[in-house]
Amino acid sequence: MEENNENLSNIVDGPTAEDENAEEKPLLPKNFCWTWPSSVVTWIIWGFGALALGFGVMTSIISFQAEPLIYGSIGLLILGFASPNPFNNMMKGMLPDSSQSGTWSVPPLPPMNPSDWHLDRVEWNEKVSAWLPDPLARYEQDGPDIQVKEDGEEWVTYTDGEEDKRFSTETEAYEQMKKVLKKADTINSQEMIFGEHPRHHRYRALYNTTPPQITARFLFHTFAVMFLTGVWLSFPAGEARQSTMPFLLAGLVIGAASVTISYFQNKRVMEAWDTVTSIVKFIDAGHNELVGQVRPASFEPLETVHVDNYRDSSWTFDNLVGWMWTYSVYHCWQERYQDKDGKWHTRTKCAWKSIRDKGGTSPFLLHDGSGGLIVDLPTFRDSSFGGAIWEKDSPGSRGGNNLYTKGDVQRHRWVLYGLQLGDPVYTMARVKSRPHDEIPRGTVSENASRVHHTLVAVGEDAPRRHAVIQKGTEFSVLKAKSSTISRYGASAFLILSSIMLMVAAV
């Protein structure tokens, strides 16, 4: 067991002197950071933006006119959108997959095999003189793996596959199992949580990092507004400037919409940033932020999902705690329209049309390596299952609902979105006591201070905290973090410029 403790303690190293010195060096510059496109696609988009900018500027210089700067402004907008957020780039350097598409990527990885989730560990029941499944096992920390087997007239306990001791009675063997569990409970929780848990020491520098005030995207978008302002100033005073009033009003509306959207996006980021992620082993009631792995909440099997009622094995899923499937068709139709000369014509139009969909949710166990907590998923109004986990463009062969055949149907498409057992999950939720009749008897790890099996996370909002649950970890939310200037600066400049030019036009 001492050797096992040593192995567990090496899963996550504490901060060394070298790490502390590294943390003193900021991961990002404080005031200004320039970023280049990080993929082939964004480089291509960036190239189109650069061509538009060059065309607009050169044409304006050659013709001695300001109007071509409109093309330059469009190019600057494209360049800005193709320039990545420095904070997101920094996270990609720390995390192989900071997009958090629903996979685990940083060791120590959680066990993916259900047999390693301690769902079926047994306990000795004196009343019925039998080994029964331990209802508390799934709530306990991951490791050690404890088993008991009968060998002739003896009972043998095993820890992580290694034989521990032999006993003449079941009671003695069970007492030994509890001693091993109790000793394992003294291991530092930092050494038990999964690699993508925000409470790891390795992420300390990340949470001490401030996004740079000025970024490439901010500069590109600000200069785009300045180019448009220059074009407007080139118009002669009077009717010419007054005729631009609708465009100025559009700029005001676009700026206001951009600020509003950015505010609500940033609000979610700041909620995640300002809330310390709880470790399940030490969680208390109240509004908490949690990150962990999806596991079964009970011994009852999950609902079997048949996409669009097809019974084919490839259309059937048994491991979804949250799901939604959609069926849509790509159809075409004839449409008559009248041209500017009043003549009637016929044209063909095509589009995707949603036919039907269905979804469902079930409670599940969120486990972060240190312990498990029940999450009542049906109580969450704001939930996201990420991208599609399954797609088909042809119907199954067994059962199924009727296909949509009205009109000229070109294609069919079925898509399934889901939160599966084993997936990473992030939630901001209210943690409160479970109903008394739902609480399994006993205390987790034989330690009276461990009460997370008596609690449940529900989708209730709190002041400055919005209840949400989504596939991925907290890093999938934090990747959008940016400074106030970079987030609102260009939009605010567009609003102020539009107002000033409207006043000048009048």
The full 3-state SS of 278-298, as one line of letters, equals CCHHHCCCEEEEEEEEEECCC
Report the greatest alpha carbon distance in the chain: 105
Q: Which of 15-19, 83-87, 108-112 has the lowest mean pLDDT?
A: 15-19
The whole-number pLDDT of residue 129 equals: 92
In the chain, pLDDT over 70 holds for what percent of residues? 93
- Tell me: do 157 and 124 sit in the same domain: yes
Residue 159 sits at the vertex; the CA angle it makes with 154 and 164, to the nearest 5 degrees, is 40
Look at residue 208 in the predicted model and tell me its pLDDT.
85
When pLDDT is cut at 50, 70 and 90, the band that residue 24 belongs to is low
Q: How far is Cα 379 from Cα 428, in angstroms, rounded to an integer? A: 12
User: Is 16 a domain residue?
Assistant: no
Task: Report how far apart, in Å, the C-alpha atoms of 229 and of each of 244, 360, 382 are.
Answer: 11, 51, 41
> Tokens 């939930």 label which residue?
383
Question: What pLDDT band is residue 103 in, cutting at 50, 70 and 90?
Answer: confident
Q: Look at residue 21 and tell me whether its pLDDT is greater than 60.
A: no
The pLDDT of residue 22 is above 80: no
Calpha distance 369→110 (Å, rounded): 7
Q: Is residue 123 part of a domain?
A: yes
Q: Is residue 9 part of a domain?
A: no
DSSP 212: P
Return the ∠ at Cα 234 (arms to 230 and 236), rounded to 5°.
Answer: 145
> Which residues have CB under 8 Å from 99's CB, separation 6+?
476, 479
Single pTM value for the model: 0.84
- Condensed to tens digits (0 to 9), the pLDDT of residues 443-494 reads 777 666 778 999 999 999 988 889 999 998 888 788 888 999 999 999 999 9
Segment 208-235 mean pLDDT = 94
Q: Hey, is 59 helix, strand or coil? A: helix
Does 27 share its domain with 176? no
Are residue 303 and residue 353 in the same domain, yes or no? yes
* For range 138-144, the mean pLDDT: 90
- Assess whether 182 and 218 both reside in one domain: no
Percentage, residues of the chain above pLDDT 90: 64
Q: Give yes or no: residues 86 and 126 share one domain.
A: no
The verdict on 319 and 239 lying in the same domain is no
Provide the domain count of the chain. 3
Q: What is the pLDDT of residue 465?
A: 86
At residue 45, φ and ψ (nearest 5 deg) are -60, -45
Nearest to 143 by CA among 445, 417, 399: 445
CA distance 433 to 456: 6
Full domain range(s) for residue 440: 278-473
Could you give the dihedral angle defined by the CA atoms of residues 410, 327, 467 and 140, in that order, rounded to the nearest 10 degrees? Answer: -120
In a domain, 432, yes or no: yes
* pLDDT score at 474: 87
Task: Report the distance separating Cα 365 and Cα 372, nearest Å.
Answer: 6
Same domain, 257 and 308: no
Same domain? For 239 and 314 the reply is no
Is 428 among the domain residues?
yes
Residue 4, in any domain of the structure: no
- CA-based nearest residue to 455, from 285, 321, 201: 285
Model confidence at 10: pLDDT above 60: no
Distances (CA, A) of 117 to 84, 265, 369, 457: 39, 36, 10, 20
CB 147, CB 157: distance < 8 Å: yes
Residue 95 has pLDDT above 90, yes or no: no
Same domain, 65 and 138: no
The per-residue pLDDT for 6 is 37
User: Which runs of E-coded beta strand occur in 134-193?
Assistant: 146-151, 154-159, 162-167
Boundary residue ending a domain (191, 213, 247) = 191
Cα–chain center distance at 55 = 40
For residue 495, being part of any structural domain is answered with yes
Domain end residue (candidates: 191, 219, 245): 191
Domain identity same for 312 and 177: no
pLDDT tier, 50 (very low <50, low <70, confident <90, very high otherwise) = very high
108 within a domain of the structure (yes/no): no
Average pLDDT over residues 395-408: 93
Domain-terminating residue out of 159, 174, 191: 191
Gyration radius of the chain's alpha carbons: 30
Reduced to 3 states (helix: H, G, I; strand: E, B; else coil), residue 11 is coil
Query: Do the Cβ atoms of 153 and 378 come closer than 8 Å?
Result: no
My answer on whether 458 and 380 are in the same domain is: yes
Give the DSSP letter of residue 209: P
Shared domain for 187 and 215, answered yes or no, is no
- Look at 7-21, 125-139, 258-272, 347-361 and tell me which has the smallest mean pLDDT: 7-21
Amino acid symbol at 101: S
Amino acid identity at 335: E
